């Protein structure tokens, strides 16, 4: 489900303890009105079946605790996540407004969220990592970059291929070889393991990622893709 700008990032009033009600937690990100059975549905709209209203383009997702989910699903969501870094001019303006006490930090957090981050899609994946339990999985379906399914939708902004996920896995190997891609250290984001990845260049990608524990050898970036003040 496409993400639109919204200031909403709170629990549905009727379901405040949704993460405490189940021993095993499955989350469907961007579920819309077609939530996967047995999942906690998260979407920017307060639609039928949505348990938690959260704009997934506002970081962090304060309504979702750390290490909350055993499995997280998304279907046709990742291609809608803006990959751009935060706007430095907006960051400068917000700093000025805060310095002049024209707005409060609380107001900025509620309406804008983090306003400094390097790479919006990387920041999104870091947030998925945060809310996934160690060893938990993120399973996603999305159109292959440049496929007819990718180009047909006017709101697709984030083209991803099978190689794109090698940037998230410090030990990802080139398909059919024992050679490491060596792409992870370019951004050194929070680490994932590619468990399964199927793709059709004219169709779709189906990927299963597992949350890795941070190992010193991965040299994870100190700001994990974020630069806060």
Going by CATH, does the domain composed of 26-218 fall within 3.40.50?
Answer: yes
What does the domain layout of the chain look like in residue ranges? Answer: 26-218
Tens-digit pLDDT string for the chain (229 aa): 444 444 444 444 445 567 877 789 999 999 999 999 999 999 999 999 899 999 999 999 998 999 999 999 999 999 999 999 999 999 999 999 999 999 999 999 989 999 999 899 999 999 999 999 999 999 999 999 999 999 999 999 999 999 999 999 999 999 999 999 999 999 999 999 999 999 999 999 999 999 999 999 999 985 644 544 4
Q: Smallest Cα–Cα separation from 59: which of 116, 139, 135? A: 116
The model's pTM is 0.88
């Amino acid at each position: 489900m496409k993400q639109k700008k919204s200031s909403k990032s709170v629990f549905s009033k009727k379901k405040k303890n949704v993460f405490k009600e189940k021993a095993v937690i499955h989350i469907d990100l961007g579920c819309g009105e077609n939530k996967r059975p047995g999942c906690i549905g998260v979407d920017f709209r307060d639609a039928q079946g949505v348990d938690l209203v959260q704009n997934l383009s506002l970081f962090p997702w304060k309504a979702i605790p750390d290490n909350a989910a055993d499995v997280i699903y998304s279907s046709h969501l990742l291609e809608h996540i803006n990959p751009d870094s935060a706007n430095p001019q907006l960051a400068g303006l917000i700093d000025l407004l805060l310095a002049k006490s024209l707005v409060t930090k609380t107001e900025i957090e509620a309406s804008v969220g983090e306003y400094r981050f390097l790479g919006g899609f990387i920041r999104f994946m870091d947030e998925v990592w945060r809310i996934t339990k160690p060893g938990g999985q993120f399973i996603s379906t999305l159109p292959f970059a440049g496929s007819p399914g990718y180009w047909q939708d006017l709101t697709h902004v984030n083209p991803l291929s099978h190689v794109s996920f090698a940037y998230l896995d410090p030990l990802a190997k080139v398909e059919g070889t024992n050679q490491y891609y060596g792409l992870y250290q370019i951004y050194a984001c929070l680490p994932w393991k590619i468990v399964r990845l199927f793709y059709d260049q004219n169709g779709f990608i189906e990927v299963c990622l597992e949350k890795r524990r941070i190992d010193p050898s991965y040299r994870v970036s100190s700001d994990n893709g974020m630069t806060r003040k």
